[in-house]
């Protein structure tokens, strides 16, 4: 494990089921996340990283100590730089029995061997053309792959291995953290920023090579609950209050032009993503997303207006709306200190890529960490099509990310040597 490639690490990590769970009472939400967390702890220690540890919430943290000698122009000046990735995979698709497939992409669609109805379509994946005759990794079609974010983990572990094995690469203190439960919105719930001790950090949780992220959606969650009344259908006339019908009328009025499937770039959306219910009670959970935080209040008002419109059609139903804050656009804080952003750009160029700033139509652990005082933009991994069985990973993209983060450690030294 001292001289592994990022690919071999990723393949090993991908086979470990770490799927998190929504609405869980425990933290992490699934015990199986510890299978990978504890493995990473052992591997960090095998690399000779003496302070590698895991806390009671499952956060693994470690330090690759600075190798700057006394008298170096940057000694004592380089901020502690952190690199963060999450171990859990999305509840949206199975993470059990992941069977990674390594292949050289020769063009065309990719039919996955475990389920021939699952196809990675060439016309939906422009990044495939950039990987012609290159190695990529897919699942077998029956599960997700887990590049989100086990590719990020493999990249950070390879960074640690590179710095430990190459004392000639100058760097300050490098902090590492692996978190649980990012996919269910709780990746930073118990993250101890003070104990982590970094001055600036990066999540390795992006996708397309060369793309860097300094802005995310601002996000709220909305829950609409309809209370009705159930009775046997045979005697239901003028008595039953069917909550499902009322909720269906609400869903039908959601703006179709503000859905994930009809928006892109900086366009906001309202996304109904979980529905549960029967006649007496039905619940709809929605994601509210806008790059402008004040847009979330407008979306909440839209929901209230829809409920007010539907209520007269179901006068005996009781309809409740609850809004909860999720995370905020990290750009509000990152714009205040752009040193880390300039370092990202330079490191990406040195890795042989042209940096491109792209907004994240989602969030990362870095969204909340930035809001809480730890600046934390996001770096690409090479993965695509996250959260489903057509997920795939560019091996060259993952290796480019390794080169980027290795350069990044050196760029910070140079910035502080001036």
* pLDDT interval class at 168 (50, 70, 90): very high
Share of the chain above pLDDT 70, in %: 100
Fold for the domain defined by 218-326: Alpha-Beta Plaits (3.30.70)
The string over 310-323, giving b where at least 16 C-beta atoms fall within 10 Å of a residue's C-beta and e elsewhere, is: beeebeebebebeb
- Asked whether the CA dihedral 217, 403, 393, 211 is positive or negative, the reply is positive
Q: Do domains 6-216+329-415 and 218-326 have the same CATH topology?
A: no
Mean pLDDT, rounded, for 361-387: 94
Phi, psi dihedrals of residue 405, rounded to the nearest 5°: -70, -30
Give pLDDT, residue 309. 98
Dist CA 223 CA 322 (whole Å): 5
Share of the chain above pLDDT 90, in %: 97
Whether 262 has a pLDDT exceeding 80, the answer reads yes
Question: Is residue 328 within 8 Å of residue 217, measured between CB atoms?
Answer: no
Mean pLDDT, rounded, for 92-108: 97
Length reported for the chain: 418
Question: Which alpha helices (DSSP H) does 15-77 contain, by range?
Answer: 33-46
Whether 23 has a pLDDT exceeding 90, the answer reads no
Question: Could you say which DSSP state residue 124 is in?
Answer: G
Q: What mean pLDDT is reported for the chain?
A: 96
Question: Residue 218 is inside which H or E element, if any?
Answer: strand 218-227
Active site amino acids: 88, 182
* pLDDT interval class at 144 (50, 70, 90): very high
Whether 332 has a pLDDT exceeding 70, the answer reads yes
Mean pLDDT, rounded, for 121-149: 97
Give pLDDT, residue 1. 57
Mean pLDDT, rounded, for 15-41: 96
The residues, any chain, with a CB within 8 Å of residue 261's CB and separated by 6 or more, are none
DSSP per-residue string spanning 125-156: -GGGGGGTTSEEEE--SSS---HHHHHHHHHH
Give pLDDT, residue 69. 95
Kindly list the distances between the CA atom of residue 417 and the CA atoms of 70, 75, 78, 385, 401, in Å, as whole numbers in the listed order: 13, 8, 8, 40, 24
CATH 3.40.630.10 assigned to 6-216+329-415: yes
For residue 287, the cross-strand partners are: 221, 271
Residue range 281-326, pLDDT digits in tens? 999 999 999 999 999 999 999 999 999 999 999 999 999 999 999 9
Kindly list the distances between the CA atom of residue 98 and the CA atoms of 138, 149, 282, in Å, as whole numbers in the listed order: 10, 14, 34
Whether 3 has a pLDDT exceeding 90, the answer reads no
Q: Are strands 53-54 and 60-64 parallel, antiparallel or unpaired?
A: antiparallel
The residues, any chain, with a CB within 8 Å of residue 251's CB and separated by 6 or more, are 272, 275, 284
Dist CA 274 CA 256 (whole Å): 17
Q: Where are the domains of the chain?
A: 6-216+329-415, 218-326
Angle at 158 between CA 156 and CA 162, to 5 degrees: 120
Question: Is residue 334 within 8 Å of residue 341, measured between CB atoms?
Answer: yes
Question: Residue 294 is inside which H or E element, if any?
Answer: helix 294-310
Question: Is residue 296 within 8 Å of residue 327, measured between CB atoms?
Answer: no
Whether 400 has a pLDDT exceeding 60, the answer reads yes
């Amino acid at each position: 494990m001292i001289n592994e490639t990022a690919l071999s690490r990723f393949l090993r990590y991908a086979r470990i089921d770490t799927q998190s769970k929504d609405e869980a009472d425990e933290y992490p939400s699934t015990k199986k996340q510890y299978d990978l967390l504890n493995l990473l702890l052992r591997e960090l220690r095998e690399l000779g990283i003496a302070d590698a540890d895991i806390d009671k919430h499952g956060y693994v943290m470690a330090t690759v100590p600075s190798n700057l000698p006394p008298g170096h122009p940057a000694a004592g000046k380089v901020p502690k730089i952190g690199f963060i990735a999450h171990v859990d995979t999305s509840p949206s698709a199975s993470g059990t029995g992941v069977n990674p497939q390594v292949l050289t992409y020769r063009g065309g669609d990719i039919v996955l061997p475990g389920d021939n109805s699952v196809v990675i379509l060439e016309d939906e994946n422009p990044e495939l053309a950039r990987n012609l005759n290159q190695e990529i990794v897919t699942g077998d079609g029956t599960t997700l792959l887990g590049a989100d974010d086990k590719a990020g983990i493999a990249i950070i572990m390879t960074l640690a291995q590179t710095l430990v094995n190459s004392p000639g690469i100058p760097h300050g203190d490098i902090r590492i953290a692996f978190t649980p439960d990012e996919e269910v919105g709780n990746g930073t719930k118990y993250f101890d920023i003070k104990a982590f001790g970094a001055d600036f950090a990066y999540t390795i949780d992006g996708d397309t090579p060369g793309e860097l992220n300094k802005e995310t959606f601002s996000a709220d969650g909305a829950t609409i609950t309809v209370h009705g009344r159930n009775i046997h259908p045979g005697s239901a006339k003028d008595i039953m209050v069917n909550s499902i019908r009322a909720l269906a009328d609400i869903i039908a009025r959601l703006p179709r032009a503000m859905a994930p499937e009809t928006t892109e770039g900086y366009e906001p959306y309202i996304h109904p993503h979980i529905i549960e219910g029967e006649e007496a009670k039905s619940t709809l959970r929605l994601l509210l997303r806008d790059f402008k935080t004040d847009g979330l209040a407008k979306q909440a008002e839209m929901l209230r207006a829809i409920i007010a419109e539907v209520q007269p059609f179901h006068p005996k139903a009781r309809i409740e709306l609850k809004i909860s804050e999720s995370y905020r656009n990290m750009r509000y804080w990152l714009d205040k200190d752009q040193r880390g952003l300039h370092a990202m750009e330079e490191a990406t160029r040195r890795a042989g890529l042209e940096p491109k700033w792209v907004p994240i139509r989602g969030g990362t652990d870095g969204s909340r960490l930035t809001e809480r005082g730890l600046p934390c933009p996001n770096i690409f991994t090479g993965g695509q099509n996250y959260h489903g069985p057509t997920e795939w990973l560019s091996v060259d993209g993952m290796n480019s990310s390794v080169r980027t983060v290795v350069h990044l450690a050196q760029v910070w030294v140079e910035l502080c040597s001036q």
